[in-house]
Structure 1
């Protein structure tokens, strides 16, 4: 058992306790898969990450991402939070304005824009129309008539996200899903917020990851942006709100730039200490 630096952050917020928490274990060399998985179950957060030396040329560090249930090849809020923690611990990137993270999907670019970080959305591994059987299952799981689903698309980019759009934010915030009916779907639900503090409201239902609802979800917002900007529903730059139904106030800054989608947010450190593993 060794003492290692440990950071716990709130991601996609500049206000503590209003975003999505993340636990980060630094200098995780020597920890085995079982130890990492056990610690992630113990923290019981939506994700816990472990920082390691890179193995791919051009990467600044390597991260492994665990939910309480399994390891993920990529996730958004762990990318931003891990990068913030790595930089705060003295990490020095090879490029002044950009950090390159290595994870299960390969290299992910993270742009530094003042104190805010933004990651380049990875390509969708599955996109396009959602079949009617799946949409019927989603409607049952959300306890809505099928016609309440205004649009839909697969937006899988590591997590197997399927996304649907509802007609109003009030309808979205009132959802009380039947998770048994949703089964193994990883579901994102979005609705417009006309005249609101953000352009859209988002909710993410992911019981397969060991949590029923994720407070603020970078990977989902990355997939949503590729769908909604690509189809002309949203402009090339917009703000998403997530976590309202859980008492959070997550804000996800999305921008189409340099031929790609960038997903950004603030992070704040709440715990900076050591852990024995």
Structure 2
């Protein structure tokens, strides 16, 4: 089967979030998919399959080394770019419909290696329980006073978010893996109004970090699904403007950039496009038996 490895959400090679993509994977069993995902040992491996509905152009199943996810961000943009690179052609030029565990997700070709997905509706929203906020803050090495706001931003993976006072507080977080075991929590903090002057790209309004906290990974380099959930929450309540750029992966030596555009009539569901760059770094074949 054709095999691709792409780098998502960065224009700098090897500084984004890597994703393995196995093409034409209909012949693989779930057990085989899980074994391949454990072997690649990346945060996610995506398997391209024949869709089960005529409304979709392809279907994707997304596996971490330890579990299957119904939806994730870089395993949405990455497989779409890889599918196109392998000769895939959507029913509607410029727009591709992906079938995954949460249903149908629209992906748009922005040109020059940039792709956008329409942020799905939240499956769970609203504030966390106060006891949960205090527990998560402690697990992240924060005091309760460091948390400005909080919410569920779950669009499939089960994520929640803490808004901190600024980007500096986000970069200073030092999580305790044992205290957070099983949690999927992210933190976000704004830069000053002049933006992140250290960035070489567009002005960055917020710094983001995400901790899936599993045996395989404590911190994720760039988390598209979390950014989608954050955008629904923080543009919806006016904390962030309709258009902004977020940075993630700084502490890990990555240069992830995610662009958000809210209030878009052409984005199905939430009206939000989540945009990132996809670079094709590895192409070949995988022999699965």
TM-score of the aligned structures, taking structure 2 as reference length: 0.93
**Which stretches of structure 1, 4 residues or longer, exceed 3 Å deviation after superposition?**
none
Distance 1:120 1:24 in 2: 21
1:58 offset after TM fit, Å? 1.2
- Of residues 17, 21, 33 in structure 1, which corresponds to 2:18? 21
Give the aligned CA root-mean-square deviation in angstroms: 1.0
1:12 offset after TM fit, Å? 0.3
1:142·1:176 contact (CA, 8 Å) conserved in 2?
A: yes
1:225 is the counterpart of 2:234: no
Distance 1:227 1:198 in 2: 18
Larger helix share, 1 or 2 = 1
Partner of 1:159: 157
Partner of 2:67: 70
Distance 2:143 2:240 in 1: 25
- Of residues 240, 253, 256 in structure 2, which corresponds to 1:234? 240
Alignment of 1:1-277 (within 5 A): 4-115=1-112, 116-194=114-192, 195-196=195-196, 197-208=203-214, 210-256=216-262, 257-258=264-265, 260-277=271-288
1:208 offset after TM fit, Å? 3.4
Larger strand share, 1 or 2 = 1
Distance 2:183 2:145 in 1: 19
Q: 5+ residue gaps in structure 1?
A: none
1:46·1:209 contact (CA, 8 Å) conserved in 2?
A: no
Distance 1:85 1:241 in 2: 24
Distance 1:189 1:252 in 2: 15
1:68·1:209 contact (CA, 8 Å) conserved in 2?
A: no
1:210 offset after TM fit, Å? 2.9
SS of equivalent residue, structure 2 residue 214: helix
| CA gap 1:28/1:204 in 2 versus in 1, 3 angstroms | same
1:209 offset after TM fit, Å? 7.4
- CA offsets, 1:41-72, max 9 Å, x none? 01110000000111112100000000001000
TM-score of the aligned structures, taking structure 1 as reference length: 0.97
SS of equivalent residue, structure 1 residue 128: coil
